[in-house]
Amino acid sequence: MNIIFIAPPAAGKGTQSEMLCNKYNMKHISTGDLIRETINNDSPLSEQLKDIMNQGKLVSDEFILELIKNNLKDGDYIFDGFPRNVKQAKMFDELLKTLNKKVDYVIYLKVPKDLATKRILGRLSCPNCGHVYNDQIDELMPKQVGICDTCNVELTRRNDDNIETFNKRFDTYIKETEPLLDYYQDKLYEVDSSKDKQEIFEEIEGIINDYN
Ligand code: AMP
């Protein structure tokens, strides 16, 4: 089973991906995480990638497809943040065909912009386990301010989680990513992502539970 999440920034795709992976033993590919990894590894492309991210724009489709090809192995996958436009979706379809795989579910996490803004500005994550917290939303706060509940290390804030970049990322999402809702209309399921994470998770489980 392969699942794609389509969602504006801070709709909770990372959190839901983590919950699904834990329960259903699926693998998780976040192109955003892979790009951040490339940047942190001081690749010759680091500066260019950092600039693109900070401007809230999309990295080149060819680069993203290479990341996917290099990380896709056997098994069931959740694609978080990919595809981000129709060109990537078409390239992905071609790739999946050669691997005898397909996209089974496309989950659209819908969230109003004002709530997404609040989530972005409070978002913190653990550099060790990747768990996402939020210091503005009660149910997502760490037990100890700024510290991961599990790893006991200091939580970090993403460089692109500021209001200017968020606004640009949101505009990019509307222009480039929302057309995917049409592209995937035959396997698309809409979930109200303004609810709490457990309710959202149960709704997603309801969608995928009739998979066979
Ligand atoms: P995310 O972690 O999904 O919020 O992505 C952070 C940033 O990485 C985005 O704002 C883009 O600059 C870049 N990015 C992530 N995934 C993609 C993708 N599939 N295509 C192009 N750029 C991407």
14 C-beta closer than 6 A to ligand 1 = no
- Tokens representing 191 are 């979930």
pLDDT tens track for 16-39:
999 999 999 999 999 999 999 999
- Phi, psi of 144, rounded to the nearest 5 degrees: -115, 135
**pLDDT of residue 211 exceeding 80:** no
pLDDT tens track for 36-89:
999 999 889 999 999 999 999 999 999 999 999 999 999 999 999 999 999 999
Identify the DSSP state of 110: E
**Which positions ≥6 away from 89 have C-beta within 8 Å?**
83, 180, 183, 184
Mutational pocket test of ligand 1: of 84, 92, 119, 170, the residue with most ligand atoms within 8 Å of the beta carbon: 84
Catalytic residues: 13, 84, 123, 158, 169
Distances (CA, A) of 140 to 27, 73, 134, 193, 210: 23, 32, 5, 14, 30
pTM of the model: 0.91
| Per-residue pLDDT band at 210 (split at 50, 70, 90) | confident
pLDDT tens track for 164-195:
999 999 999 999 999 999 999 999 999 999 99
pLDDT tens track for 78-94:
999 999 999 999 999 99
